[in-house]
Each structure stands twice: as C-alpha cells, then as structure tokens.
Structure 1
Amino acid sequence: MMPGLAQADRLKDLADVAGVRSNPLVGYGLVVGLSGSGDGNSGLTRRSLQSIMSRLGLELSADDLDAKNAAAVMVTAELPPFMKPGQSLDVTVSTSGKAKSLQGGTLLMTPLMGADGEVYAIAQGNLVVGGLGVAGGDGSSVVVNVPTVGRIPQGATVERMVETAFLETEYFVLNLHRSDFSTAGAVADAVNAQFGAGVAVALDGSSVRVRAPADPAARVSFMGLLEQIEVDPAAPPAQVIVNARTGTVVIGGEVRVTPAAISHGSLTVRVNEDFNVDQGATVVNGRDGGVVVPGEPVVTPDTQIEIEQEANPAFVFDPGVSLASLVDAINAVGASAADLVAILEALHRAGALRAELIVI
C-alpha cells in the first residue's frame, strides 16, 4: 500500500470490477392460504389455480374455483455474482391483482427468470409481511405500512450459475464510481507502485485496465490485494447543489468566488388596526330641565403603521474566497435558506461563483 496518504481510500470503495455484478430475476407466482384477502373472482388468479391443479392431476374448471384466499403475485430477487446452484436468495413478493393483504400467505413454487428468459432460481415459502390492513363493515379501513408486499428470507434456491469471464479474461477492468481523469491516473499509479510498472493503464476518466495473473488460482488473491490498495482520489468538481423543494443547500469544498459585493436586507411593515368606541348621548330639554338620553355608540378607527428597515450593509468578497468565508459572510447577515439560494443564484448569474450550480 502507498504510505503517507492521510485521506486515502481503498480501491474497493472507489471502483467496481467490470462484469462482476448482480443480476435481477423476476417471476409470476401464486400465493395461497390468505384469510379472505385474496383476489376474489379475478379470472387471472382462477386460471392460475386451474393450471396448477391440472399439473397435479386434477381436472377442474376455472369457474369452479374461488380465489378469495389466493393472490396472483410478482416475485423479484437479485442474483449476486458467483452464486452457485444450491445456494439461497431472499425474494420479494408483491401483489399484481386485487388482493388486500398477503398476511399469512404461502408462495407456491415459482421459477425466477433472468433477462435472457432462462430460469436461474426457484422460489417457494411462507411470507413475512410487515404491513397490516383492517376493514370494517361500514367501509372504513386502517392500513399500516404496506400489507401487499412481503419477503421470504432465503426463499429461493439457485438452479443455474451466471457465467463470467473472471477466470479467463486477460485483463481486469476497474470502473470508477465517479468519472475523473485525475482519479483514474492516481489509481493506475497506485497499482503500478504495488505490482510493478505496466500492470495498470488508465483507459479513460472512468476505467482502468489491470493485467490479470496468468494462473487462474492466483486471481482471487490478486484481486484481494488489489482491492486493499489505498488511493488518494482527486478533489471533486466545484458544485453547489440546491434542493428547491426543501431549501437544502450543499456547497462543495472547492467552491470559490471572484470579487463581488452583496447587499442583503429586508423591509418589514406592520399594520395594527384598532378601534376606539365612545358612547353617544343626546340631551333633551324638558319642563323639568335637560335629560341625557343614551345614543348609538361612536366607533373611531385607530390605525398604527410601523416600518422597520434592517440596516444590513453590503459585504465584499475578495478574489478566491473559500467556502468557509462564503458561508460565514452569508450567515452574518442572517440569511434564511431561501435567501441563501437567491444569493447563490445571483452570484452564479453574475459569473462570480466559480462552481456549477445544480438545482434538483
């Protein structure tokens, strides 16, 4: 390994080996044993039941079957690389019809096929359902989580191995998780420093070709050593990521700004509406003197308007200001998340923000 790299990452965390990947599997199956929460009178489910019964030697019509305790489902799984026949996989079972819940159901034997149409695994077993659904006679219902999806841990058995060129290929190709020419060059240099000059060659910004051992028995140990090599990846590109829906702003460490002046302030206007009520009175002169007769109340509006202007002076960025200075200056004027987004967009539009502005 390369010594003295404080921020080095293992090569296995930076790249994948081309061709060494998982493969998705999918199949159509039938879940039985439901407590009245199945597909009911669905024609597809009843025909599926009829097909299974016929394979078991029972001749029945689809009209004679009731699918209220059965559900048509889609079964999915991921086949990891190098899996051998006889090993087990976890499977996910999802309803494809009108079933309300798979709670308590059992998946009948279901072939799982790959993209080439070949069967690579067989699934069967009791479902584990984390959701719950309850319905009342008046139509009210309560659903917790998702009762129409369940899992069967180790519920599929591998029947066919996916062939790979790991033992036959002359070269291994390492594909970087993030394309970067500098990182690709650093990976090639680190591998050559470990195994000798000419072992690794950077093909482009995403891939590095490594010469594999001629002896197939040495390839596993060679790959184990290769994965543990430490590489100092190049700094990521200067980017500012803005989530307009949540107001989240992420600023990369390489972001810089050129000379710019920013003024941030706000005008606050408060209007307090009040009313003064005075009791009206009428004086009536009679034989015995004046008499005060109460009159209609007199309502006088009393409006108070307050205007407050924040005294936030403009601040200036010097050339090459770093991320820390940029954030400190913006926080100093009390900018909210929305204000921060507006400031960054204005800086980018003015050409002062040396970064890619990405709005998601």
Structure 2
Amino acid sequence: MFSKLRLFSLSLSLVISLLVSGDVFAERIKDIASINGVRSNQLVGYGLVVGLDGSGDQTTQTPFTVQSMKSMLAKLGVTLPANVNMQLKNVAAVMVHAELPPFARPGQTIDVTVSSLGNAKSLRGGSLLMMPLKGADGQTYALAQGNVVVSGFGAEGADGSSVTVNVPSAGRIPNGAIVERGVESPFGHSPSLVMSLHRPDFTTATRVAASINDKLGIGTARTMDGGSVEVRAPADPAAKVAFVSVVENLEVEPASAPAKVIVNSRTGTVVIGSEVRLEPAAVAHGSLTVTISEQINVSQPAPFARQGDTVVTPESQVAVEQEASRMFVLDPGVTLNDLVTAVNKVGAAPGDLVAILEALERVGALHAQLIVI
C-alpha cells in the first residue's frame, strides 16, 4: 500500500513538474539573436547555359544571347563574320545568384541558382559555362560552372497543347561555385560584440543581458536599446570563438509577444495572439438575406377584341430572411480560448469573426492591436 501511494505521489509530482515546466519556453540566445557583422552576402552574375535539346532562347527575340555568344567565342580565338546570323536553339542566357556565407574562404564551394533570362523553354540537360559571381561592390567573389539540375519538365504536342510540371526554366547547381575571395568580417578585430535580437523587445534584451552577466560575471553585457545587447569579448580570436560558443548556448525566456490580432483580407485568415484580452461585452451576430426574383408575364387582349395590345408585364417578388442568432456574453479578462469557444458556439465563420473583432475594437472592449494585411 505504501509503495503504491509513493508511486502515485511520484507520478503526480512528475506530472505537476511537466505542467509547470511547459509554461516556461526558454530559448537559446543563438535562436533569438545574431552577432552584428556575422552575416551572408548576396552574389549575382550573368552567363550562358549550353547543351540544351532545342529548348534554348529564340535569338530573334533575345539578341543579347547572340551578342554574348559572339563575345565568348572571340575571347576563345574564334572570329565570326559580322553578317553571320546565328541560330542558337541550344543556348540560353541566364542569371545566376548565390549566397556567400560568413567566414567563407577561397577554395570552398557554394550552391548556385540558375534562372533563364530570355525565352528558353527549359534548362534541362544544360551546362553553365564558367562565369563570375559579383557582390554589391562589383568585385568578383566566386566562379560558377557545372551541370544544371532541373526538377521541372514540359511536353508539347503538334496541335499546340502542352503540359508543364514545376518550373523547367530554373535550376540549381550543388557546389557549383568556388569561392575566390572572402569578405572581411569585423568579428576578429572588435573588442566587443553586439547581439541583435531578431524581434526587438526591451524585456527580452534585458533578460539576455542578465543571463550573460549571471553566467560570465557582472558587467560582461549591457543593453544598448530594445534590440541590441553589447557583450565584452576576449581579444584573442581563438578565445573569442570559445566565448561566443558559451554565450549563444545560454537559455533565455523571451518576453511575451504584444497583444495583436492579424487579419488577412485576401485569404480570410485570422490569427489571434495569446495575450489578447477582452472587456465585458455582449455580442449578437446574424445575417440578413434579401432574395429578389423576377418573372416575366405576357398580357394579351381578349379574343376578337378590337382594341388592345400584347404587352410584357414583369412581376417581382422580394423575400427577406433574417438568420436567428444567439447572443453571448464576454466576461472581464476573457482569454483567447474563451473567445474561440464562444464564437464556435454561435457558429460564426472567419468573415463573421472579423466583423465581431472590429466591432469590439470600436467599443473599446478589445485590448489588442487589430492589424489588417
């Protein structure tokens, strides 16, 4: 008997501890913040894809493809007469873009995305010729080349009918670019680090600084504003890397999100935050349906009548139907769960819910920011 009671008490304690711990959602600092200066950079370039099976650009409509081909051949020592009209069905002009990750070094490879610039129908089976990828400053940071992997395909019949799956005019080249130069990062030279919150919040910034100070000593971190926390770091690069590894794995309980109600007017989606509260209010919502039906009748004179004409006489019928609706009362401090339960009992649709929320905001009963996107 004692063992059963003890086992029951242990199970109850475990359930209570799980329920209590479930209310606290601690996150790592690396999941809610990033270090200033440690970011990726966008690269873009222009090139040619060759080896297509007749699905390339129509050169009459894309003269830049012909121009690029002649320029490339001239650099390779092939000179073409000026009056030559090239028909390049197996070549497509493309734009190539990639993302250069932080701390990338020469010799590393990155993935690239290839997209048709002209009117090529498909890049399937094509190969990208070597071309430079440049940054916003105009400098070359990588060289891309390789076979294009295309997930989409298309088929076309003689009668003009066609079937297309996914997008055959774009593809990717895994590890298709080799980094030629890296981007200098201030990480190794700055005496301090600035942690930028993904969602600025004064409470969260204060908790991040407090967590770092509790772990690494008072004065290690200080808040700069609602979205930035400055952290003093070692000067030695190796020690700084180990220091950041400790900081980014510290757990912090983020502050609760502001009370908001988001309404998507295009899709009818309504998202209500957990912090939304309502003042006492009584709501009754119903629909009024007006139906108008019109019937055309023909009026003719009596047989053998000397006077009278045949005329058309419209007959209209108007019916008004009001849906029976029930009123529900919202008590003080109603939570999200209570609001959803009350609306579901009434049977309101998403459009009706939007109208109810707008009315509650107008009377001052909705303690939340109503945002329509």
TM-score after normalising by structure 1: 0.86
Aligned pairs (5 A) from 1:300-315: 309-312=323-326, 314-315=327-328
Residue in 1 aligned with 2:37? 19
Give the stretch that moved more between structures: 222-231 or 5-14: 5-14
Change (3 A) 1:309 1:133: closer
Shift in Å at residue 206 of structure 1? 0.7
Q: 1:36 aligns with which of 54, 63, 74?
A: 54
Residue in 1 aligned with 2:13? none
CA contact (8 A) 2:193 2:231 kept: yes
The one-letter code sitting in structure 1 at the alignment partner of 2:275 is E
Cα separation, 1, equivalents of 2:124 and 2:161:
19
The one-letter code sitting in structure 2 at the alignment partner of 1:343 is I
The list of structure 1 runs, each at least 4 consecutive aligned residues, that deviate by more than 6 angstroms after superposition, is 268-273
Cα separation, 1, equivalents of 2:236 and 2:323:
78
CA displacement, residues 73-120 of structure 1 (integer Å, 9 cap, x when unaligned): 100000000111001011011111121111110000010000000000
Q: 2:69 aligns with which of 35, 42, 49?
A: 49
Shift in Å at residue 308 of structure 1? 6.6
CA contact (8 A) 2:280 2:332 kept: yes
Give the stretch that moved more between structures: 53-62 or 82-91: 53-62
1:352 equivalenced with 2:358 (yes/no): no
Q: 2:217 aligns with which of 175, 191, 196?
A: 196
Residue in 2 aligned with 1:324? 337
Residue in 1 aligned with 2:307? none
The one-letter code sitting in structure 1 at the alignment partner of 2:329 is V
CA contact (8 A) 1:16 1:174 kept: yes
Shift in Å at residue 239 of structure 1? 0.3
1:78 equivalenced with 2:99 (yes/no): yes
Shift in Å at residue 135 of structure 1? 2.3
Choose 1 or 2 for highest CA Rg: 1
Change (3 A) 1:73 1:311: closer
Residue in 1 aligned with 2:207? 186
What value does the CA root-mean-square deviation take over the aligned residues?
2.3
Shift in Å at residue 272 of structure 1? 11
Cα separation, 1, equivalents of 2:101 and 2:147:
23
3-state SS of paired residue (1:203):
strand
Aligned pairs (5 A) from 1:96-175: 96-175=117-196
TM-score after normalising by structure 2: 0.83
CA contact (8 A) 2:325 2:346 kept: no
Cα separation, 2, equivalents of 1:175 and 1:124:
36
Q: 2:78 aligns with which of 58, 64, 80?
A: 58
Residue in 2 aligned with 1:336? 349
3-state SS of paired residue (2:261):
strand
Please state which structure has a larger fraction of its residues in helix: 2
3-state SS of paired residue (2:187):
coil
3-state SS of paired residue (2:357):
helix
CA displacement, residues 276-334 of structure 1 (integer Å, 9 cap, x when unaligned): xxxxxxxxxxxxxxxxxxxxxxxxxxx9x89574251x222222222222222222211
CA displacement, residues 20-46 of structure 1 (integer Å, 9 cap, x when unaligned): 111010000001001111113232111
The one-letter code sitting in structure 2 at the alignment partner of 1:84 is R
CA contact (8 A) 2:29 2:249 kept: yes
Task: Give the fraction of aligned pairs with identical amino acids, expressed as a percent.
Answer: 59
Q: 1:92 aligns with which of 113, 124, 133?
A: 113
Segments of 5+ residues of structure 2 without an aligned counterpart are 1-20, 295-316
CA displacement, residues 260-284 of structure 1 (integer Å, 9 cap, x when unaligned): 22112345689999xxxxxxxxxxx
CA contact (8 A) 1:85 1:161 kept: yes
Residue in 1 aligned with 2:25? 7
Segments of 5+ residues of structure 1 without an aligned counterpart are 274-302
Cα separation, 2, equivalents of 1:127 and 1:337:
45
Please state which structure has a larger fraction of its residues in strand: 1
